[in-house]
Chains A and B, each alone.
Chain A
């Protein structure tokens, strides 16, 4: 499970285009004298319903990979296609709009908003997208149930455990049904049991929502939840 190519096509023979495709992506940071290559000729593709884990030591380029894949950073070279659109060809404004519609982020420490309840965390993306309607409320409620957080719907982040916050963060990322889910070190602040729960939940929701999920992690004990594992070292996939 270390190939940079996507998972095999379905048995019925129909070709499923990858939801996320990085082609020869290089990301150089800093000025000329102190130039650092964060990503070096990275090529990968992730299909809908596939859960890809990317691991590697600190400074290997994992977070840079997520930043480039989500359009938060523009690569120095190469292209990034999300849901069929090349992010590198878009303006900042259109890239933001594309991210809103097609990409969900799950952040380290969940990054929930302190003033919002668990349910409101899920309604916020719909409000940002201008789609806070009854359907969005139903979807949010269903997702909270799917991640086992219905009973904590009215709690704010400081009233939730680390694992619960990550569950809410995952549900929030899925609420607008993105094609691509990008997950940043989701278990870094969790104990073993909770880390396992979150990893299994990610795998489960990837399949349930047919998202192309990319998770970067240090945590080697949760890699088996992924369909495929890639290792980054010095910005290169090895």
Chain B
């Protein structure tokens, strides 16, 4: 550390350069973490909020299950009667275009969830009435829809049938596939799902997208699926059924993976050049009796100091930039993820540098003598 810290002070321009690169990577790391979390929230926050352990879909559906699955009344009733099943209720899900009527008229996209108004899936409103006390066309809107200028008492119409919705209350953040969520009574959802004017056919009035389940650990989902012709996934597994969720998550993971790989390479490359430039000094240290361990510790202390300082500075800038986005992008920061991003950068930077400074072990003390230079 004696030499490492003095080198940092003496060659501060050179180290500031690599520090700035690491700091910029840290800024990118924080922003990508925030965007990844924000995108995930925008994709599945409504699913995260569901008070369920599992969802059972039609077994023939695949991929984006919410748009491809249909279950019937008999299915959710049979599910409710299976061993280990605490609660089972129908859940409808439909993405629709809506028209806000009246003086604030505008078009909106809605992710409509159909639930039984008195069931365990019906959310408690932050403002207004619960679905159980609302009229048949009453809906609860999420904060995302409220931010579009929709409020309690407003009326929306949906689809060719101009099915009317009346906003009776608001809930917190909830979105699905980057679209704000709306909770409607199941009969209303079935009407929206049918989509045509007139009376909903009897068969359509018996349908939902999935069965929302609260299961005991003892529930044998595989056996029940086989009996009832369903495909059960746990709540986290259902995220993959959200539109674009898998593609977004894997893209962000890939970008972050490349970022960290690049950071390890950049730090490694810098310290490779630095170690080569220090060859004479390293030989001198060895000739003076410094052990290889002493020199490696000194070099890695230098790397750690740079990585710590640059990562801290970059993270602070990243947080400030994230704060400045202020809703203009799907951005959400979690302390754990930001910490993990910083730790990953430091660990991978150290790994890259460790490979580089291994060269220290190969430097011969003999090089310090004039005739061997």
**Chain A contact residues, CB within 8 Å of chain B:** 62-64, 66-67, 70, 72-73, 93, 96-97, 99-101, 103, 105, 107-109, 111, 113-116, 120, 123-125, 127-129, 132, 156, 184-185, 188
* A-B contacts besides A72-B364, A124-B288, 13 pairs, CB < 8 Å: A67-B369, A72-B365, A97-B291, A99-B287, A99-B289, A100-B288, A103-B289, A107-B368, A107-B369, A120-B2, A123-B2, A128-B290, A156-B10
Find the B residue at minimum CB distance from A115: B10
Q: How far is the CA of A93 from the CA of B291 in the complex (A)?
A: 7
Q: How far is the CB of B165 from chain A (nearest CB, A)?
A: 72
Set of chain B residues within 8 Å of A99, measured between Cβ atoms: 287-289
**B162 CB-CB contact with A under 8 Å:** no
**Other-chain contact of B10, A97, A114, A123 (Cβ < 8 Å):** A114
Contact B284 A111 (CB under 8 A): yes
Can you list 11 residue pairs at the A/B interface with Cβ under 8 Å? A72-B364, A72-B365, A96-B291, A97-B289, A99-B288, A99-B289, A100-B289, A111-B284, A113-B281, A115-B7, A123-B2
Set of chain B residues within 8 Å of A111, measured between Cβ atoms: 280, 284, 368
**Other-chain contact of A113, B284, B289, B365 (Cβ < 8 Å):** B284
Contact A100 B6 (CB under 8 A): no
Query: What size tier do the contact residues of chain B reach?
Result: 20 to 34
Contact A125 B370 (CB under 8 A): no
Contact B284 A116 (CB under 8 A): no
Candidate in B11, B280, B289, B291 with the most chain A CB atoms within 10 angstroms: B289
**Other-chain contact of A63, B2, B6, B281, B372 (Cβ < 8 Å):** B372
**Chain B contact residues, CB within 8 Å of chain A:** 2-3, 6-7, 9-11, 280-281, 284-291, 294, 364-366, 368-372
Q: How far is the CA of A67 from the CA of B288 in the complex (A)?
A: 12
Q: How far is the CA of A128 from the CA of B9 in the complex (A)?
A: 20
Contact A124 B289 (CB under 8 A): no
Contact A116 B370 (CB under 8 A): no
**Other-chain contact of B294, A63, A103, A120, A128 (Cβ < 8 Å):** A128
Q: How far is the CA of A63 from the CA of B372 in the complex (A)?
A: 8
Set of chain B residues within 8 Å of A70, measured between Cβ atoms: 287
Given contacts A107-B284, A115-B11, A120-B6, contact A101 B369 (CB under 8 A): no
Contact B366 A185 (CB under 8 A): no
Q: How far is the CA of A217 from the CA of B289 in the complex (A)?
A: 23
Q: How far is the CB of A158 from chain B (nearest CB, A)?
A: 10
Q: How far is the CA of A124 from the CA of B3 in the complex (A)?
A: 8
Q: How far is the CB of B331 from chain A (nearest CB, A)?
A: 42
Contact A63 B371 (CB under 8 A): yes
**Other-chain contact of B370, A63, A120, A129 (Cβ < 8 Å):** A63
Q: How far is the CA of A127 from the CA of B290 in the complex (A)?
A: 9
Find the B residue at minimum CB distance from A111: B284
Contact A107 B2 (CB under 8 A): no
Q: How far is the CA of A177 from the CA of B287 in the complex (A)?
A: 16
**Other-chain contact of A116, B6, B287, B290, B366 (Cβ < 8 Å):** B6
Contact B368 A132 (CB under 8 A): no
Top 8 A-B residue pairs of the complex, sorted by shortest distance between their CB atoms: A100-B289, A63-B371, A115-B10, A108-B370, A127-B2, A115-B6, A99-B289, A128-B290
Contact B366 A105 (CB under 8 A): no
Set of chain A residues within 8 Å of B10, measured between Cβ atoms: 114-115, 156
Set of chain A residues within 8 Å of B285, measured between Cβ atoms: 128
Candidate in A99, A103, A127, A128 with the most chain B CB atoms within 10 angstroms: A128
Contact B289 A125 (CB under 8 A): yes
Q: How far is the CB of B95 from chain A (nearest CB, A)?
A: 63
Q: How far is the CB of B334 from chain A (nearest CB, A)?
A: 41
Contact A73 B290 (CB under 8 A): no
Q: How far is the CB of A194 from chain B (nearest CB, A)?
A: 18
Find the B residue at minimum CB distance from A126: B2
Q: How far is the CA of A123 from the CA of B6 in the complex (A)?
A: 13
Contact A107 B370 (CB under 8 A): yes
Q: How far is the CA of A228 from the CA of B109 in the complex (A)?
A: 98
Q: How far is the CB of A128 from chain B (nearest CB, A)?
A: 5
Find the A residue at minimum CB distance from B2: A127
Set of chain A residues within 8 Å of B286, measured between Cβ atoms: 96
Find the B residue at minimum CB distance from A125: B288
Given contacts A115-B9, A120-B6, A184-B370, contact A72 B288 (CB under 8 A): no
Set of chain B residues within 8 Å of A116, measured between Cβ atoms: 3, 6
**Other-chain contact of A109, B6, B364, B370 (Cβ < 8 Å):** B370
Contact A128 B288 (CB under 8 A): yes
Q: How far is the CB of B12 from chain A (nearest CB, A)?
A: 10
Q: How far is the CA of A116 from the CA of B10 in the complex (A)?
A: 8
Q: How far is the CB of A96 from chain B (nearest CB, A)?
A: 6
Find the B residue at minimum CB distance from A107: B368
Q: How far is the CB of A14 from chain B (nearest CB, A)?
A: 30
Set of chain B residues within 8 Å of A67, measured between Cβ atoms: 366, 369, 372
Set of chain B residues within 8 Å of A115, measured between Cβ atoms: 3, 6-7, 9-11
**Other-chain contact of A72, B2, B7, B287, B370 (Cβ < 8 Å):** B287
Q: How far is the CB of B267 from chain A (nearest CB, A)?
A: 20
Q: How far is the CA of A101 from the CA of B290 in the complex (A)?
A: 11
Q: How far is the CA of A127 from the CA of B3 in the complex (A)?
A: 9
Set of chain B residues within 8 Å of A63, measured between Cβ atoms: 369-372
Q: How far is the CB of B109 from chain A (nearest CB, A)?
A: 61
Find the A residue at minimum CB distance from B291: A96
Q: How far is the CB of B116 from chain A (nearest CB, A)?
A: 73
Set of chain B residues within 8 Å of A188, measured between Cβ atoms: 370
Set of chain A residues within 8 Å of B284, measured between Cβ atoms: 107, 111, 113
Set of chain A residues within 8 Å of B3, measured between Cβ atoms: 113, 115-116, 124
